[in-house]
Amino acid sequence: GSEAAGGEQRELLIQRLRAAVHYTTGALAQDVAEDKGVLFSKQTVAAISEITFRQAENFARDLEMFARHAKRSTITSEDVKLLARRSNSLLKYITQKSDELASSNMEQKEKKKKKSSAAKGRKTEENETPVTESEDSNMA
Amino acid sequence: MDGRVGLRASRRAAPTPRVAVRSSPRQRARVREQEPVVSAMSGSGLGKENKAGSSTPLRHRPNAFSELDNATPRVMLRKIIQNQPQVSPLALQTVQLEETEDARPEPPSQRTSSTVELQLPDLVPEDASVTTFRMTRKRKKLSISEFERAADKRLPQNQAHSTLDSTLVRSLRMSVGSVMAPDTVEKRGLLRRPQNHKAIDIAAFEGGVEQNMLQIKAQDYLVDLQTSSMTGTTTIRTDAEVVLNNTELFVEPQLGEQNLLAVEPQLSDSKTSAQRSNTSYPAHEKARLEGLVSRVSTDERRTLRFSEKDLITDHEHVDGITQKTPAKEGEDEQDHSQQNDPMEQFSESEEMAGTTEHHADAEYSEHSEKKLSRKAVSQLTAAQDAGVEMEMTPSEGGVAEGTEHQDSPKAELQMAGSPGGHSPASYSLKKSGAKPLKEAVEQTGEIERGTITGVLDAAEEEATDDESDIEDHESEEISMKTPMFVHAAAYRPHPVLSPPHPVKSASPELPPQPVRAKPVPKSSGAAQRKTREPEIASSLIKQIFSHYVKTPVTRDAYKIVEKCSERYFKQISSDLEAYSQHAGRKTVEMADVELLMRRQGLVTDKMPLHVLVERHLPLEYRKLLIPIAVSGNKVIPCK
């Protein structure tokens, strides 16, 4: 019973996520349409969003596998880079971005640490999470 | 009933019982009940007897129970078999006579006893049916003999042999196994269709190849003439054009091999003489090269490929062929590089190879000429010469590219077997003298490499050459960019590549060809760090592939399968390396392999690895992978 309810909840959650992806895809498609002067049919947008959603599932599974393979319990940018190995250009891009982010993070950390150790310590923690999130968004 | 039966028997005594049955109106009323059966039976095949008789016993049995014991079907059948003659379905008089004769005595005898026995009349129809059956069974024998007789009668004129021989032969054939009835002689159902052996294609192909070789020989002559006449410039116009016109993929290696083979025996003599006249044969050479190129398809001498390619590239280069297959490009590059400086020339050739596709001939030839003249001095002519002379002496580069050396190196180079005779032209410029193609090719290739960079790997060399070439040549920008990119991409994960790689990079469509490493086997002493890429035995790939495909496969297909499998293995090995590195290890473990299989989709949540192991691997391997518990508290393999 609880599992069924959990499953239902999970199903609902999945549907909500799928809808969110679909909405974002539609928005992006509209931008592209305006930019290139072409039109996107609804089926196209739906297909793209479905593909994106399924591929995101694949990515999540692979990323978890990679993290577990490295005996870690957290997914890091290294896992993402390993995931993007298939496409050289994508890998280069991601590596570039991750380096930029890492360097900017380091700079921020150093600055903050220089200014004040105690107060800034908390802030650096906060900065880290958005950094990882942005990295994830890059991967997705 | 008896009367009726008696009538029927009497009627049946006639040769055509069917006719008798039908013709007697008196009997019709009585025989009506049997007619449908009779007619139905008679329609089955033989007109004489039918199975109507089989139904009659049933009818008559209830009427005459007393005689049932004596006239069981078995007894009747036995009587029939013993007594009834076999009648052939053929309308042969002899047979009919036999039938009638046999039939006649029977019915009278039966008739006499028909009054007594009820079943006797039934016997007749039964006999008929049984006879029918017997006839079908014995049909073969009678028909064969009859057939022989008939055949003899029919074909006396057709046979030159004596009738006796023919009959004997036919009888032999018949007895041996022709189950066909005479009327089926015309049918070919049992004959085997003529087998189409695939070897025929190969034979034709070989013949065509030989022709091509001859053509190449002629071309070589022409090339030699051209090269000799031109100083520092290779009149590869024709060759290059010919080669370029061939749009086949992977022509290079094939061409080179074949050319080498073909040229070798011929080159030594004709080269020098051929060099005199040149420009007049571009068209011819082109045509020949095209033909040659199109037909080459064997990987017999892969070692020669590289050299061949070099030769080809040079030639094509000069000719400024507008159309060039990627393979040709590589060849051109190589050839060109061979002719020119090792390093620079590589780039040049590659550039030129790339540009030949896109630029006019005139432009190209100019470029090539310029380059050739430029590099004439600094070129590895020595190397080439050394190669030509079977002595790997890189220091011999001192030999000028001038006409003086043109003859010998050129001859050698030509022999090296440019597919379209390109190599002769290209090499003729610089070298002179005749040498076995292989040696020349290999040596030139090696020498070039050695001279170019004793330091760089072959691959790196080529990569740098390519890249430098690309940068140098302005006109080749467009064409060279792709090679550079491909080159860079190809070289990044595989820093140690065999020499042929630059050729590959030049032609993006071509997958890497590890075979090219073969032409550069041993350095003559110069520091040559050419690591040969290990390859999977092509025979193994052929074996496995053909086993699963179950249909014949052409050689080209095998080549492509080889390339694909090589690509595949490269990819997965690099993946495995990345995975193990990801886990902070330096050794690839089973966990890495399982991760790879997961990525590939072979291992899922529903399909664990052990199940796959059980399904596909033999027991020996399975034992190693999956621990087995045996008696005595032992686990294999021990943990």
- What CATH number is associated with residue A49? 1.10.20.10
* Whole-number pLDDT of residue B355: 43
Are B429 and B401 a contacting pair, CB within 8 Å? yes
Q: Report CA-CA distances (Å) from B93 to B86, B139, B167, B170, B370.
A: 14, 15, 20, 22, 98
Q: What is the pLDDT of residues B347-395, one digit of tens each?
A: 444 444 444 444 444 444 444 445 544 554 444 444 444 444 444 444 4
Same domain for A18 and A43, yes or no, is yes
Phi, then psi, of B26 in degrees rounded to 5: -60, -40
Q: What is the pLDDT of residues B554-604, one digit of tens each?
A: 989 999 999 999 999 999 999 899 999 888 889 988 888 888 888 888 888
CA–CA separation, B344 and A51 (whole Å): 49
Q: Copy the structure tokens of residue B534.
A: 């290990």
Residue A56 lies in a domain: yes
Same domain for A67 and A16, yes or no, is yes
B583 interface with A at CB cutoff 8 Å? yes
Residue A139 lies in a domain: no
* Whole-number pLDDT of residue A11: 92
Indicate yes or no: CB of A66 within 8 angstroms of CB of B584: no
Contacts 24+ apart (CB under 8 A), B403-407: B403/B228, B403/B231, B404/B432, B405/B381, B405/B430, B405/B431, B405/B432, B406/B227, B406/B228, B406/B231, B406/B275, B406/B430, B406/B431, B406/B432, B407/B224, B407/B228, B407/B271, B407/B272, B407/B275, B407/B431, B407/B432, B407/B433
Same domain for A23 and A65, yes or no, is yes
Closest alpha carbon within chain A to B490: A88
Same domain for A36 and A66, yes or no, is yes
Residue A2 lies in a domain: no
Are B51 and B132 a contacting pair, CB within 8 Å? yes
Q: What is the pLDDT of residues A10-55, one digit of tens each?
A: 899 999 999 999 999 999 999 999 999 999 999 999 999 999 999 9
Residue A27 lies in a domain: yes
Same domain for A64 and A97, yes or no, is no
pTM: 0.34
Q: Copy the structure tokens of residue B139.
A: 């049909």
- Which residues from A are below 8 Å from B579, CB to CB? 69, 82
Q: Report CA-CA distances (Å) from B543 to B156, B298, B299, B548, B588.
A: 54, 17, 17, 9, 28
Same domain for A58 and A94, yes or no, is no
Phi, then psi, of B628 in degrees rounded to 5: -115, 135
Q: Is the ipTM of this complex over 0.95?
A: no
Identify from B567, B582, B598, B604 which residue to disrupt to test chain A contact, counting A C-beta atoms within 10 A and taking the largest count.
Answer: B582
Same domain for A91 and A106, yes or no, is yes
Same domain for A98 and A49, yes or no, is no
* Whole-number pLDDT of residue A42: 93
B595 interface with A at CB cutoff 8 Å? yes
Domain termination site, one of A50, A73, A96: A73
Residue A120 lies in a domain: no
Domain termination site, one of A28, A44, A73: A73
The total of structural domains in chain A comes to 2
Indicate yes or no: CB of B582 within 8 angstroms of CB of A78: yes
* Whole-number pLDDT of residue A124: 54
Residue A133 lies in a domain: no
Residue A103 lies in a domain: yes
CA–CA separation, B287 and B275 (whole Å): 19
- Which residues from B are below 8 Å from A66, CB to CB? 582, 595
Q: What is the pLDDT of residues B219-254, one digit of tens each?
A: 666 656 555 555 444 444 555 555 555 565 555 544
* Whole-number pLDDT of residue B170: 55
Closest alpha carbon within chain A to B593: A69
Same domain for A66 and A83, yes or no, is no
Same domain for A80 and A63, yes or no, is no
Helix locations, A70-116, DSSP H: 77-83, 88-115
Same domain for A67 and A81, yes or no, is no
Residue A21 lies in a domain: yes
* Whole-number pLDDT of residue B613: 86
DSSP per-residue letters across B602-622: SS-SSS-HHHHHHHHS-HHHH
Q: Reduce the DSSP state of residue B493 to 3 states and report it.
A: coil
Indicate yes or no: CB of A71 within 8 angstroms of CB of B583: yes
**Residues spanned by the domain of A18:** 7-73
Same domain for A65 and A17, yes or no, is yes
